Amino acid sequence: MSEHSKLEEILKAGSLEEILGTAVPYPKEIELKGKISRETVEELSRIKNEPEWMLRHRLKALELFEKLPMPKWVVGIEELDLESFSLYSKPELEREVKDWDDLPENIRRTFERLNIPEIEKKFLSGLTAVFDSESVYSQLKEEFEKKGIIMLPMEEAVKRYPDLVKRYFGKVFPPGEHKFSALHHALWSGGAFVYIPKGVRVPFPIEAFFVIGSALEGQFEHTLLIADEGSYVHFIEGCSAPMYKGFSFHDGMVEIYAHKGATVKFTTIQNWSRNVINFNNKRAIIEENAYVEWIEGSIGSHITYTYPSSVLKGEGARTAQYVVSLSNGPYLKDTGAKTWHLAPNTSSKIVSKSISANGGINIYRGLVRIAKGAKNSTATVSCDSLILDEKSKAYTYPHNQNDEPSASIIHEATTGRLSEDKLFYLNSRGIKEEEAKSLIVLGFISEILEGLPFEYVEVLKKVIELEFSEIGGVG
Amino acid sequence: MHPSGFPSGHFNMPKITLEVLEKLTYQKYGDSPTIKSYTKWNLFEENSPLKLPTEAKGEDVGINANVIFSGSESKFDLPEGVELAEGTLGLSQPEESRILGFHFYALKKAYRLRITKNLLEPLVIVSHLSENAFISHHLSIEVENANAPIIIYDLSENGTKSLVVELRLKNAEAEILTVGNHKALSHYLLRATLGDGSKVRAFTVVKGGKMSHHREDYSLEGTGSELILRGIPMGTGSSVDYLTNVLQYGEGSKSETRVNGYSYRGGWVVHRGVAKVFEKARGSSSEVSSHVIIMDEGSLGVSVPMLEVDTGEIENASHSSSVAQFDEDALFYLQSRGLSREEALRLFVHGIGEALSDHLEKLKSKARSNVITLVEELL
Amino acid sequence: MLKVDNLRVKVEDKEILKGISLTVDKGELHVVMGPNGSGKSTLALTIAGHPRYQVIDGRILFEGEDITNLPPEERAKRGIFLSFQHPIEVEGVKVIQFLQRVLKNLKGLDEIQAYELIFNAVQELGLDESMLARFLNVGFSGGERKKLEMLQAYLVKPKLLILDEPDSGVDVDSLKMIASVINKLHEEGTSVLLITHYGRILEHLKPNRVHVIKEGKIVASDGVELVKMIEEKGFAAVEEL
């Protein structure tokens, strides 16, 4: 040990704050290259043939984007090329992959090992034009129409149901929240619009991309889901199989409005290629006795930011957020959940499981805020991190603020490593290290797997196995 | 690089000019996604050394102590084996933040103690202010190859008091009892670095004043260094922002932080703790438990225990946090045995004081009696 | 001694007791039995004054005084003692300190008088002295907690002893100890209201009256024979009376 205290050295460098994680891992500000002009946004709106009010919404958001400061908690991005965004939001240029052979080799190989049928392989590699014509769900669309369920690409909904859309669009997650939500509102393109009428229950999970197709592939897709009183829907977006994306920055948004007594389950599984910086804005407003459940599985991408949020607005509203995030390799996952309790007798549950391996970093950011008057509300948070080797890291930053004495927030977290004992036990039963690792990881996240449909769990399991196999996954 | 003539690790008292001071901010980053800062820095701004006088008379506090800082006066009555000098250990700098800038701006003299023999009696330090002024006290303590029990009484009755304690342990063990009893504005910073095999058992009970910012930073650098830190921040119609930061660099280092806070009668208690295990700290373990109890309507509690682990090669790392009111069932149990609500609350807090101080040896009873005194005042 | 008059009680907007009436005369031992969720514990906790249980109608009279709105510590001072089904842990407070406090509050004894009494009681009941130095119920097994409840009752010698399922989760030996304390207190004049689900403990006691409670109402009140019937045919049989 040297004579100098580490503290002295750090102090000379600046302040203790620098190493206390608020500026981890790169304390630089993101450089913005280029500019997004009003003309670009106007042209975008014109190409989409949008009504006047949507154009105004975009332009106001653009103004906000310019005014708002770069959020300090966004780490890991050094530079953003704004000009490339507007290119990508033009529909014809959304997909660069025209041919199966254009796909990176490791992705192709992964598909083979996953036994994904030919049709899906083509879809996942971006050849949706082929897929759309053979849609399995065309029959489903008829059923939906009979019940009054509206499910179509967001852009179509803007034109076909303007009043309905106007009532909710941008009201759950407004553009002014932070710089990237403003950016999203200015450039949004694609996404799904879902409306479930009063009392209607959709008894099986809806796998979004099969129904909406290519519209969900976009860079700035906006999904708006409205569940009217007493309705039930389970919406799944994304797919556990690896997806190649042509763009490198994704700023999507999901707005959910759950009316009285409604139940919405929203599942996102993301396994995008390693060139993507993935930014998600997800929020639900939950009214009296309604329930919204977020299940978030984040496997791929270079950096992912996602914090599914719930606002418990009505009495007896409930929510649960289950987040699994895997950072296998020199990647960063900055995930978490946010919940605001604004009414009495509300309850929330956050379960976060993160796995860091091969130099991966996982950051959990949680916020639970119980406002005064939210009597008898309870919030429980459990966030566990599993670090598989000495190079990987896990950071947890939970903020729990309670202004209501009759309410309670309880939070538990553990950060553990791969137990040698567990590994040895599995080894002694003939299971090799890599297989053992994937078994342990699957056990670690089993609580969350329970909420997913069977097929998803199967593919997810295979994906995780592949991640830890000799091939080393998609990365 | 050391200024010539100084043994390594000893520094002159840092100075700061008005020009540099004016550019400093209180915090570089917001405290949370929704709150800029938990500490009400505006109160410090209105009562800074630029607005208040930086000299004040001392007063007899009625505590028998070895080091007494009261107002601008200092008195020393040191036992054998404790050397006194001027200067600091270089563990705090004025440019870090505005409040430290103010601290050094108003500081007249910084003192340094060196302990090389086991102390049989606790070393008692008092830092006190009773006039409306901005007064800084700065004390550095080095303990080498010795055991030292230390008691710090941090008392602010009026004005703004800023106390910084720097601590360096080399192959040493220390028990530290900090009793903060405030009515006015107070700023407290403890910076400690633990070398190989050094151990600290710390217990802090701090009753907030108009606004008390109380921060303890421990850097566990030596192999096998250990810290057991327990704290009871209390806010009765007053505010406490209690920060505990533990950085572990040493292999096989261990830290355990337990904080139980109580907010009452419109009080505000915030506990924030960072436990960070660096990559080098293989085989280390770290635990943070942060629980704030809101005792009645109108009081507020915030608990933010942050955990950063830079390597998978750790023994154990966990944290838990809760912000809730008193367990109604537990209260009822005591009431059904004839205790009034107030008596029951008092018994609970008292009980926590007992449980949280059981890691102390020499200072255990002193810790408990101080908790009782402060709890009486709380209720 | 205790008169419960058409008591209706709700918890968080749910009505649990729907009009309970019963009378326990001085020196009697009454038993209340019923299936899970019937409201047995609610009755015990309401009489002891738990804030979560709100009385919507009816009253509770103790020695002629209406105690329906009295806070729990006042009821304790008047001689009502509840032995909890799930005694709470209180960290940092030693059992001995706690017992001294209880004796001071309810019996006016000073620390030294209390200490002697406690020490003797521990011997008489065959309990382990080391329990006194432990923190109140912290790390205690179910049986240990129940025994500590009985020690408290034994020391306090209340006018009315209410026991909320003293026999749940305890082994045979603990059960005997609990029953012997109840009997001793009963012999010395304490009135007892015992809530039980299993009825095992009744083998060691001589109740004056047995009440069966179902869905918040008393459906039967009779002598000890009722217990045998329940044991043989279950609670469902009682409906048919």
The pTM for the full model equals 0.78
Note whether A413 contacts B95, CB cutoff 8 Å. Answer: no
Q: Tell me whether residue A168 is in a domain.
A: yes
Number of domains in chain A: 2
Q: Give the whole-angstrom CA distance, residue A386 versus residue A392.
A: 10
pLDDT band with cut points at 50, 70 and 90 for residue A27: very low
Q: Which of A106, A130, A105 is nearest to A117 (CA)?
A: A130
Is the CB of residue A28 less than 8 Å away from at least one CB of chain B? no
Q: Tell me whether residue A428 is in a domain.
A: yes
Is the CB of residue A137 less than 8 Å away from at least one CB of chain B? no
Ranking A280-289, A459-468, C121-130 by mean pLDDT, the lowest is: A459-468
CA A83 to chain centre: 24
Number of domains in chain B: 1
For chain C, helix, strand, coil in percent to 5 are 40, 25, 35
pLDDT recorded at residue A26: 33
CB-defined contacts A:B, below 8 A: 185
Q: Both ends of chain B: CA-CA distance in Å?
A: 52
Interface chains of chain A (3 or more CB pairs under 8 Å): B
The type of residue at A363 is I
Cβ neighbourhood burial of A285 (10 Å; 0-12, 13-18, 19+): buried
Per-residue pLDDT of chain C (241 residues; tens, 9 = 90+): 899 999 999 988 789 999 999 999 999 999 999 888 888 999 999 999 888 889 999 999 999 999 999 988 889 889 999 999 888 887 778 899 889 888 988 888 988 899 999 999 999 998 999 999 998 888 898 889 999 999 999 999 999 999 999 988 888 888 889 999 999 999 999 999 999 887 778 888 889 999 999 889 998 888 888 887 887 777 777 765 4
Q: Tell me whether residue B359 is in a domain.
A: yes
Q: Tell me whether residue B264 is in a domain.
A: yes
Note whether B282 contacts A390, CB cutoff 8 Å. Answer: yes
pLDDT recorded at residue B110: 96
Is the CB of residue A423 less than 8 Å away from at least one CB of chain B? no
Q: Which residue has the higher pLDDT, A224 or B311?
A: A224
pLDDT recorded at residue A121: 53
Contact list, A385 vs chain B (CB under 8 Å): 309
Q: Tell me whether residue B1 is in a domain.
A: no
Interface chains of chain C (3 or more CB pairs under 8 Å): B
Is the CB of residue B307 less than 8 Å away from at least one CB of chain A? yes
pLDDT band with cut points at 50, 70 and 90 for residue A112: low
DSSP string, C30-51: EEEE--TTSSHHHHHHHHHT-T
Q: Which residue has the higher pLDDT, B375 or A351?
A: A351
* Out of B34, B97, B309, closest to residue A367 by CB: B34
Is the CB of residue B337 less than 8 Å away from at least one CB of chain C? yes
Q: Tell me whether residue B331 is in a domain.
A: yes
Could you read off the pLDDT of A141-178 as tens digits, one per residue? 677 888 899 888 888 899 999 999 999 999 999 999 88
| Residue after which a domain boundary falls, among A260, A280, A306 | A306
* Out of B27, B168, B306, closest to residue A21 by CB: B306
pLDDT recorded at residue A140: 63
Is the CB of residue A11 less than 8 Å away from at least one CB of chain B? yes
Q: Where in chain C is the domain with CATH 3.40.50.300?
A: 2-87+158-239
Could you read off the pLDDT of B56-70 as tens digits, one per residue? 999 999 999 999 999
ipTM of the complex: 0.81
Largest CA distance in chain B: 70
pLDDT reading at A117 higher than 60: no
DSSP, collapsed to helix, strand or coil, labels residue C67 as: coil
pLDDT reading at A70 higher than 90: no
The type of residue at C70 is L
DSSP string, A327-373: EESS-EEEEEEEEEE-STT-EEEEEEEEEEETT-EEEEEEEEEE-TT
- Quote the minimal CA–CA distance from C5 to chain B in Å: 22
Contact list, B274 vs chain A (CB under 8 Å): 20-21
Note whether A11 contacts B219, CB cutoff 8 Å. Answer: no
Q: Give the whole-angstrom CA distance, residue B130 versus residue A440.
A: 60
Note whether C90 contacts B337, CB cutoff 8 Å. Answer: no
Q: Tell me whether residue A76 is in a domain.
A: no
Q: Tell me whether residue A364 is in a domain.
A: no
Structural domain boundaries, residue B23:
18-378
The two counts, helices (H) then strands (E), for chain A are: 16, 20
pLDDT reading at A211 higher than 60: no
* Out of B335, B348, B353, closest to residue C90 by CB: B348
pLDDT band with cut points at 50, 70 and 90 for residue B2: very low
Q: Which of A214, A270, A262 is nearest to A234 (CA)?
A: A262
State how far the alpha carbon of A189 is from the alpha carbons of B57, B152, C30, in Å.
69, 62, 74
* The pair of three-digit structure tokens given for residue A92, joined into one six-digit string: 């014809």
- Quote the minimal CA–CA distance from C98 to chain B in Å: 9
The answer for A 343-362 residues in CB contact with B (under 8 A) is 356
The answer for C 146-165 residues in CB contact with B (under 8 A) is 152
| Residue after which a domain boundary falls, among A291, A306, A321 | A306
pLDDT reading at B129 higher than 60: yes
The answer for A 237-266 residues in CB contact with B (under 8 A) is none
Report the CATH superfamily, name and number, of domain C2-87+158-239: P-loop containing nucleotide triphosphate hydrolases (3.40.50.300)
* Kind plus residue range of the DSSP H or E element containing C233: helix C225-233
Structural domain boundaries, residue A185:
92-306
Contact list, A8 vs chain B (CB under 8 Å): 9, 90-91
Q: Give the whole-angstrom CA distance, residue C195 versus residue C210.
A: 10
Radius of gyration of chain A (CA): 22
Note whether B309 contacts A395, CB cutoff 8 Å. Answer: yes
Q: Tell me whether residue A218 is in a domain.
A: yes
Contact list, A408 vs chain B (CB under 8 Å): 322-325
Is the CB of residue C91 less than 8 Å away from at least one CB of chain B? yes
Contact list, A393 vs chain B (CB under 8 Å): 308-311
Q: Give the whole-angstrom CA distance, residue B125 versus residue B154.
A: 8
Radius of gyration of chain B (CA): 20
pLDDT recorded at residue A8: 60
* Out of A7, A400, A404, closest to residue B302 by CB: A400
pLDDT recorded at residue B48: 94
pLDDT band with cut points at 50, 70 and 90 for residue A11: low
* Kind plus residue range of the DSSP H or E element containing C211: strand C209-214
pLDDT reading at A341 higher than 90: yes
Q: Give the whole-angstrom CA distance, residue C161 versus residue B149.
A: 50
- Quote the minimal CA–CA distance from B162 to chain A in Å: 18
The answer for B 275-304 residues in CB contact with A (under 8 A) is 276, 279, 282, 292, 294-297, 299-304
Is the CB of residue C88 less than 8 Å away from at least one CB of chain B? yes
State how far the alpha carbon of C221 is from the alpha carbons of A344, B117, C46, in Å.
41, 78, 20
* Out of B332, B348, B355, closest to residue C50 by CB: B332
Report the relative pairing of strands A309-312 and C29-33 from DSSP bridges.
unpaired
pLDDT band with cut points at 50, 70 and 90 for residue A138: low
* Kind plus residue range of the DSSP H or E element containing C231: helix C225-233
| Residue after which a domain boundary falls, among A237, A272, A306 | A306
pLDDT band with cut points at 50, 70 and 90 for residue A81: low
Mean pLDDT of chain B: 90
Could you read off the pLDDT of A380-428 as tens digits, one per residue? 998 888 888 888 889 888 888 888 888 999 888 888 777 766 777 777 7
- Quote the minimal CA–CA distance from B303 to chain C in Å: 21
Note whether A6 contacts B97, CB cutoff 8 Å. Answer: no
The type of residue at B292 is V
Mutate to test the interface with C, among B334, B340, B346, B371 (most CBs of C within 10 A): B334
DSSP classification of residue A200: -
- Quote the minimal CA–CA distance from B64 to chain A in Å: 33
- Are A287 and A431 in the same domain? no
* The pair of three-digit structure tokens given for residue A391, joined into one six-digit string: 């190079």
pLDDT recorded at residue B210: 93
- Quote the minimal CA–CA distance from A409 to chain B in Å: 5
